[in-house]
Amino acid sequence: MPKKLLFVCLGNICRSPAAENVMNFLLQQRGLEGEIICDSAGTAGYHIGAPPDRRMQKAAKARGISMVGSARQLQPMDLREHDLILAMDYSNYHDILSLDPQGKYHDKVKMMCSYCRRYNVKEVPDPYYGGEEGFNYVLDLLFDACEGLLEALTK
């Protein structure tokens, strides 16, 4: 039975699709496709159906990663259907928990940066309103966190 991961940010066009695609890239590199299934969603419905942000696509492409997917909004059933839900920032974290008022799935919800090994930060910042360096920094953080996450999952 494959592990199902869900990466969550606000709009599902920058950080969470980047995390999903970085993780799929690492899984492919290690021949682990099918053992871990990745998806992403946003806590808000601003961009439903939209592809990943062009600037994030460009930054990812420079690292050999193609950004696939289209934005969708997080649903209460996502908490039930996924083994691990990874929030990019505290605001996302609290929005995810608010979909589970009974607290039944709270143990599945983790902060993405809690898996970082090289960076000592708590949140993946939203690069949407920043410049190119913001998108590259987010990818650096996500590579670090995804490698740490993959290590934790394959132990």
Active site residues: 9, 15, 126
Parallel, antiparallel, or unpaired: how do β-strands 36-42 and 109-111 relate? unpaired
- Angle, vertex CA 26, rays to CA 134 and CA 56, nearest 5: 25
Say what angle helices 132-154 and 54-61 make with each other, to 10 degrees.
60
C-alpha–C-alpha distance, residues 116 and 146, integer Å: 8
Q: Give the strand order in the sheet containing 84-87.
A: 36-42, 3-9, 84-87, 109-111
Tokens linked to 53: 């942000």
